[in-house]
Amino acid sequence: MNRTKIAGIGYYVPERVIPNSELVNLMDTSDEWIQERTGIQQRRYGKPHQETTTTMGAKAAEIAIERAGIQKEDVDLIIFATLSPDYFFPGCGVLVQRELKITHKEMPALDIRNQCSGFVYGLSIADAFIKSGQHKNILLIGSEMHSMGLDFTDRGRNVTVIFGDGAGAVILQPTEQNEGILSTHLHADGTHAEELAFINPGCHGGYHLGQERFGYPDAEYGGIFMTEKMWNDQDIFPNMNGQLVFKTAVTKFPEVIHEALKSNQLNTTDINMLVPHQANLRISQFVQRSLGLKDDQVWNNIQKYGNTTAASIPIALCEAWEAGKIKSGDLVCLAAFGSGFTWGSALIRW
């Protein structure tokens, strides 16, 4: 059976750099406070009304397509991972197809909503399609424009300082060589779904799973509108139980990495490069120590870009490759944890 290889990779981040010092002017925070808790020094924000999740994804895709040595028309499936789509619907898959001007071709476009784990989930889906023989040139994009939906007040500080905008993309192809994706491992547990969530606008209308906190009994028809309760509860902005997320992430990251290694009869010493989802530098450092990896075995760039959710792994992977830190034959491990909760890993022989 064929394996799936990354034939081309690219990323795009907006030009506008937002250092911590700029956020200090908007909310009660400091550069020291942000760096101490997250490791972030700056992030990128797209140009409002000019750049979107789709346009950034398209720019990353064009680089990946060129590096794969194919034409846009050769792409036979698009998988788009994001939590910040241009529209409530349709999804960004068809929008990026239009942006790339390959709409004349009858091809599927698939959108997935797995937040921080989106790229790893997308990689697993693409791998299955490649192995089945259905597709030969899959474009997988992770793209986010968080800046359009953050709360730039003291109330939203703990979440807002973390996130940035950007996109990453890969072209996936079959290969008969000793390379490519060795395995992927996906998990989910919705028990604490609301502890890292953006509740509204949503379609739940009345009581959500019997929990009054998330219910709007005055919503007679649907729930896509603004109510006083939505504003007071601040469900119209992302919210996060930081302590629970951190505690769970530092457990699930090592677990799912060890799962991938065990399934391939490999050890942590075999890893040449670990590319974790860039959620928090403190989480990445904790995982690095727990696995006994050296600094040059882990790629972190959250310091420059913040958390770009579904885009963070492909951006970091591309940077590491461009820097010459990932070479042919290297064992690369990808791992992610995020909202849902969802988490996953992938092992790749480069």
Residues belonging to the active site = 116, 277, 307
- What does the alpha-carbon distance between residue 273 and residue 350 come to, in Å, rounded to a whole number? 10
| Cβ-based burial of 179 (10 A; exposed 0-12, middle 13-18, buried ≥19) | middle
Contact 122, 137 (CB under 8 A): no
**Block residue for tokens 């990128």:** 44
Query: Would you tell me how many other CB atoms lie within 10 Å of the CB of residue 272?
Result: 16
188 beta partners? 342
Instruction: Quote the tokens at residue 259.
Output: 């799962």
Instruction: Return the CA Rg of the chain.
Output: 20
198-223 as b/e, with b when 16 or more CB fall inside 10 Å? bbbebebbeebeeeeebbbeebeeeb
Instruction: Provide the strand spans (E) within the chain.
Output: 3-12, 16-19, 42-45, 77-81, 109-112, 138-144, 166-175, 180-188, 196-197, 239-240, 273-276, 331-338, 342-349
SS3 label, residue 81: strand
Give backbone dihedrals phi and psi of 300, rounded to 5 degrees, phi first.
-120, 135
- SS3 assignment for 275-326: EECCCCHHHHHHHHHHHCCCHHHECCCHHHHCECHHHHHHHHHHHHHHCCCC
